Amino acid sequence: MMSETKVSGSGEATVTLKIINSLDPSSSPAEYQVSVSVGTSVFQMMEVVAKEFPDFTQAPLHEFMHTHTTFHATKNPKLNEHFVDSINGLAGNTADKTYWRFEDGNGVPFDRGVDLVTVHASGEVFVFRFTHWDSSATEHP
């Protein structure tokens, strides 16, 4: 279930994007802070991060840069929404039960995708956490 945040009016909001690989203890989390307009989708915010931070880029699937935080997203033309396929060349795998969980700063997974979750207020944190799911649990991609 998505946590609700009240919209704090119009204007700019300073928000944080975190990238965490929970399955690799040797990996360091990446964190980026940007100012965007209230109402900006998380996907649009990720594009702003890619423009403002040289070490965070959006690239085609075949062009991953291993020295940078890189993400690849596929657009579903029927739904007109993006699905974040991979970050840093790391994609979820059904056989391994791994995926990128999209969650708020409190670790609560969103119940919708990056085009439908929007920035509401300064201080919000959006997290992509690489993890795996338990097939007996109700939580999985």
Q: What is the pLDDT of residues 47-67, one digit of tens each?
A: 899 889 877 766 554 344 444
Provide the pairing of β-strand 90-91 with 81-87. Answer: antiparallel
Residues 6+ apart with CB under 8 A from 60: 72
The topology (CATH level 3) of 14-132 is Ferric Hydroxamate Uptake Protein; Chain A, domain 1 (2.170.130)
**Domain-by-domain residue ranges, the chain?**
14-132
Average pLDDT on 6-33 reads 86
* DSSP 3-state of 8: coil
Residue 61: per-residue pLDDT: 40
Residue 131: per-residue pLDDT: 94
Average pLDDT in the chain:
82
Query: 70 — phi, psi (to 5°)?
Result: -125, 140
Per-residue tokens: 87: 């970050």
Query: 11 — phi, psi (to 5°)?
Result: 110, -160
